């Protein structure tokens, strides 16, 4: 029997295995117009840590007892839907489950054979890539010759931003943790890389960005955000994509003490959520596909096997131990 993973407790700090429960799915027959989707991969994203709290966010919290929310991709294995035949790949909010029944609403079919690998529909050509593309262009407004700094630069979103920033003509400085990740970011084309685990980020930023920072794509918050705030150029833009360094915090998050630099730099800090741009996904794909074809935009996936490994995959992600887009294969 297939299983689903339910959230049964709100984690305090790092999510634990016991915050979840594996439950057998009830057997259901399809009604007219319904399909059964076998989920192949689910995406593991920092924002999940927020969905698990009671915090008001762009989506309501996942209710206790509910299947854990997740974006995913899968194949239709049974169909009573006139337009969605068996064998079709679909993507959407599948949840952390091996299988589900739906009328197809909110799912988008895609041609898996047109992708290097179906997981690309979860990273470069999915929500991850859209986050990077729309966050950078719609909020960051990078101009050729400007200096772009990206945190979590070896991560799924960050590594895409690094490459899109180069494609936009920016000088790109990536910040990542550890020699292996830093080498990867350099390979992706970053002009300079800062290893936040082994360097003083402030000093390294001053050296890498002697004239200051025009655009900062922030995935982490915390001390790195503060170090960037001290080094803004006039009219700089900070793209607030996430604050992963604060997501496991049990108290109040660490606010950016240097935020008043936004005044003297006449700078802005702006948040965005990718779901506002999903309807423009084709636009991002059209812009990114040629870069992929030219080898200028690479994707990397970090696969963990098995539904029951989801909590561990999430912990890895929140601790920065993953390398590439973190997914769980069902």
Interface pattern 189-228 for its own copies (x via CB under 8 A): --------------------------------x----x--
* Closest distance to its own copies from the beta carbon of 117 (Å): 30
* Closest distance to its own copies from the beta carbon of 177 (Å): 21
Q: What is the dihedral of CA 43, 44, 50, 56, to 10 degrees?
A: 0
Stretch that binds its own copies, among 5-13, 81-89, 240-248, 305-313 (CB under 8 A): 240-248
* Residue 86 found at the interface with its own copies (CB under 8 A): no
Residues 6+ apart with CB under 8 A from 181: 153, 154, 195, 323
Eight-state DSSP code of residue 112: G
Eight-state DSSP code of residue 199: S
Question: Restricting to residues 250-289, which ones interact with its own copies according to CB under 8 A?
Answer: 252-273, 276
CB nearer to its own copies: pick between 37 and 318: 318
* Closest distance to its own copies from the beta carbon of 216 (Å): 14
* Closest distance to its own copies from the beta carbon of 49 (Å): 12
How far, in Å, CA of 146 to CA of 45, rounded? 29
Eight-state DSSP code of residue 118: G
Question: Restricting to residues 102-131, which ones interact with its own copies according to CB under 8 A?
Answer: none
How far, in Å, CA of 170 to CA of 281, rounded? 23
SS3 category, 231: coil
* Closest distance to its own copies from the beta carbon of 67 (Å): 22
CB nearer to its own copies: pick between 179 and 257: 257
Stretch that binds its own copies, among 25-33, 54-62, 89-97, 110-118 (CB under 8 A): 54-62
| Residue 27 CB coordination number (10 Å) | 7
The three-point CA angle 329-276-214 to 5° equals 95
The only residue of 18, 28, 57, 198 in contact with its own copies, by rule CB under 8 A: 57
Q: Does residue 19 contact residue 9 with C-beta atoms inside 8 Å?
A: yes
* Residues within the interface to its own copies (CB under 8 A): 56-58, 221, 226, 240-243, 246, 252-273, 276
């Amino acid at each position: 029997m297939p299983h689903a993973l339910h959230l049964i407790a709100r984690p305090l700090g790092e999510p634990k295995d016991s915050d979840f429960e594996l439950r057998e799915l009830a057997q259901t027959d399809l009604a007219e117009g319904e399909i059964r989707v076998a989920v192949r991969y689910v995406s593991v994203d920092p924002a999940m840590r927020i969905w698990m709290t009671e915090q008001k966010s762009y989506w309501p919290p996942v209710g206790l007892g509910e299947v854990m929310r997740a974006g995913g991709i899968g194949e239709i294995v049974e169909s009573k839907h006139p337009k969605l035949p068996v064998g079709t790949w679909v993507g959407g909010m599948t949840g952390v489950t091996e299988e589900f029944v739906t009328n197809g609403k909110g799912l988008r079919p895609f041609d898996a054979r047109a992708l290097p690998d179906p997981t690309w529909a979860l990273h470069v050509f999915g929500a991850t890539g859209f986050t990077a593309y729309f966050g950078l262009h719609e909020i960051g407004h990078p101009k050729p010759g400007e200096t772009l700094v990206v945190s979590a630069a070896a991560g799924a979103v960050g590594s895409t931003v690094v490459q899109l920033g180069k494609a936009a003509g920016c000088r790109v400085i990536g910040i990542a943790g550890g020699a292996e990740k830093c080498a990867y970011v350099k390979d992706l084309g970053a002009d300079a890389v800062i290893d936040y685990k082994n360097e003083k980020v402030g000093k390294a930023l001053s050296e890498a960005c002697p004239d200051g920072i025009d655009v900062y794509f922030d995935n982490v918050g915390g001390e790195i955000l503060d170090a960037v705030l001290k080094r803004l150029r006039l009219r700089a833009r900070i793209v607030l994509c996430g604050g992963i360094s604060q997501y496991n915090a049990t108290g109040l998050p660490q606010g950016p003490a240097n935020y008043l630099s936004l005044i003297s730099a006449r700078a802005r800090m702006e948040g965005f959520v990718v779901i506002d741009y999903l309807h423009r996904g084709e636009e991002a794909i059209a812009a990114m596909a040629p870069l992929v074809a030219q080898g200028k935009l690479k994707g990397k996936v970090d696969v963990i096997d098995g539904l029951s490994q989801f909590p561990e995959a999430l912990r890895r992600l929140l601790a920065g131990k993953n390398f590439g887009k973190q997914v769980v294969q069902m």
